[in-house]
Structure 1
Amino acid sequence: MSATTPIQHGHSRTLFWIAVAVSVLMFAPMAWVLVLSFTDNEALSRGTEAAFTGPYTLKNYTDIAGNSGVFRWFVNSLIVGAGQTAGVLVLSSLAGYAFGRLEWPGRKVIFVIVLFGLAVPEQAVIIPRHQIFSTLDLHNTYIGLMLPGMSLPFGVFLMTQFFRAIPPEIDEAALLDNATRWRIFWKVLLPLTLPAQATLGIFTFLFAWNDYWWPLISATDKDMYTLTIGIASSQVNFAQTEGLGFLAAQAVFAALPVLIVYIIFQKHVVTAVSGGAVK
């Protein structure tokens, strides 16, 4: 058994302190917003140093409970996030199965075309997308907010790679039992991809929940604002808000669903990243 040398010990200590410094830098803005959310607005109006001295209160959070606009934006974000996530999981799973397990003419060419979508920035297609949705009268609707995010090339690529990693003997055994392709997909293969779907679902929900660009363009009716647009509009009209503490409380309120989703599905994410989903 070899002993740890002083040089190795020094490198480990350096890496440890680097990790601590990076963690502090990442956590500091979140901690600052959290402290502001509990600080009295009247004290904050005189200076943000009140965040260190108080007084502290829960009024900012109780004000959210009495603000129907914030809850309306919250529900809109929840509907858009859940609907977009469900759409991505369904379409990516079906496409991944078709690309990863089936043989059909033009499969490789179409798969390359799908991957080209990874290289096209959203800003490059925003004008034709806006015109199409205007023609179809889909602006200020839930479908209009969800539909662009359902076409996710990364989701198709992830599910394709995951389906390809499943041993082909599973399909052969199911076919010998006279199972149809749909039954093999639904009953046999799809359950094996749950870790990948959990990972894809979390990233899709995070993207939909934090999306600002498309809701800013598509949602012009205040009742159709998502949380990102609603909170941003409050910051623009800062003089009409109830103060900095109230804005910080809204930000904390908006972050809670993301934290809850990650806590619930973190086991599946770790499994997918470690590659232990398919044995």
Structure 2
Amino acid sequence: MAVATTAPPAVRPRRRRILYHVFMTLAALVWLVPVLWMVSMALTPNDALQRESVGLVPNGFTLDNFGEVFTVGHMLRWFLNSLIVTSAATVLTVALCATAGYAFAKIRFTGKRLLFALVIAGLMVPKEAMFVPLFLMFSDTGQQNTYQALFLPRIAFPLGVFIMTQFLSRVPSEYEEAARVDGAGRWRIFWSIMLPLARPAMASLAIFTFVLTWNDYLWPLVISTEREMFTVTTGLASLQSNFAAATEVGSLMARGLVGSLPLVVLFLLFQRQLIRGITLGSGEK
């Protein structure tokens, strides 16, 4: 007599959950290995790293590498530059995309679909293809090595316009009609009704913009030629191209960890908004 070997229906979801968590744990460990190696080298004296730099356990222990992050070189200035540029780009991008998203979602005007298609078509244009005209434009107007040259090209964010348009298009029109009955104008409706309802989308867009701007490397490398105007990414890259890359590896790793710290803090504080923003396009409300 044959014995049934099929698992009960209640056991299958449990096995799938176990396999899923095992796979995600392994994936997280693979991602954490370079980070742990970076932390290990940042806690290791530079003279020890000149002999051996392989291992997840520090070869010796020191905090001098972290003590020199802001006291030696231009790291403090680079950090402040990244903070100023990223904050300005985030605020302006969210404001511009929210306004454009409301217009595309709730206002009827001639050529709206064509204009929206042109905006979305901007997603297909590589940003590297615009470096030459952008550089010439800022250079000819004397804005090279300035803060506005670093953040202004980033505020035109087609993906942000799409996110805000999709979110605001799902807001019931009854809210807007009720506000009009009470005598509210277009800007009053946008400021008092639409923006509070769009906070999840705006928070997600702000996080995306902050991360992308903070990690941006190519455009700051093109538009900034003075070391005082470098951001964290271009500044750390410049350190790797000199003698310090061979003699001060621990200091470089400490600067890299401090430079990435704002992104880690941002994710820990706003991970719910980030996850919700990722699911905005799935049709959930």
Identify the TM-score tier after normalising by the shorter chain. Answer: over 0.9
Partner residue, 1:31 = 36
Deviation string for 1:55-87 (max 9, x for gaps)? 111100101131251000000000010000011
Deviation string for 1:230-276 (max 9, x for gaps)? 00000111347761110000110011111112222223234444559
Deviation string for 1:134-191 (max 9, x for gaps)? 1112210000000111100000110011110100000000000000110000011101
**Residue 191 in 1 paired to residue 196 in 2?**
yes
Partner residue, 2:164 = 159
Equivalent positions of 1:239-258 (< 5 A) are 239=244, 243-258=248-263
| TM-score relative to the length of structure 2 | 0.91
When structure 1 is superposed on structure 2, of 234-243 and 103-112 the one drifting more is 234-243
Partner residue, 1:90 = 95
- What CA distance in whole angstroms lies between the structure 2 residues aligned with 1:223 and 1:63? 18
Stretches of structure 2 lacking an aligned partner (at least 5 in a row) = 1-6
Q: In structure 2, what residue type is equivalent to 1:58?
A: L
Aligned residues between the structures = 278
Deviation string for 1:177-220 (max 9, x for gaps)? 00011000001110111111110001101011000000000000
Q: Report the CA distance shift for 1:64/1:165 in structure 2 as closer, same or farther (over 3 A).
A: same
Task: Report % sequence identity.
Answer: 36
User: Would the aligned equivalents of 1:87 and 1:150 in 2 still touch at CA under 8 Å?
Assistant: yes
Q: Offset at 1:130?
A: 1.4
Stretches of structure 1 lacking an aligned partner (at least 5 in a row) = none
Partner residue, 2:154 = 149
Equivalent positions of 1:11-22 (< 5 A) are 11-22=16-27
Residue in structure 1 matching 2:209, options 184, 204, 208: 204
User: Would the aligned equivalents of 1:195 and 1:277 in 2 still touch at CA under 8 Å?
Assistant: no
User: Would the aligned equivalents of 2:47 and 2:247 in 1 still touch at CA under 8 Å?
Assistant: no
Equivalent positions of 1:1-279 (< 5 A) are 3-4=8-9, 11-49=16-54, 52=57, 54-239=59-244, 243-274=248-279
- What CA distance in whole angstroms lies between the structure 2 residues aligned with 1:144 and 1:41? 37
Q: Offset at 1:127?
A: 1.3
Q: Report the CA distance shift for 1:166/1:10 in structure 2 as closer, same or farther (over 3 A).
A: closer
| TM-score relative to the length of structure 1 | 0.92
- What CA distance in whole angstroms lies between the structure 1 residues aligned with 2:243 and 2:179? 62
Q: In structure 1, what residue type is equivalent to 2:101?
A: G
- What CA distance in whole angstroms lies between the structure 1 residues aligned with 2:171 and 2:15? 43
- What CA distance in whole angstroms lies between the structure 1 residues aligned with 2:88 and 2:109? 30
- What CA distance in whole angstroms lies between the structure 2 residues aligned with 1:271 and 1:239? 42
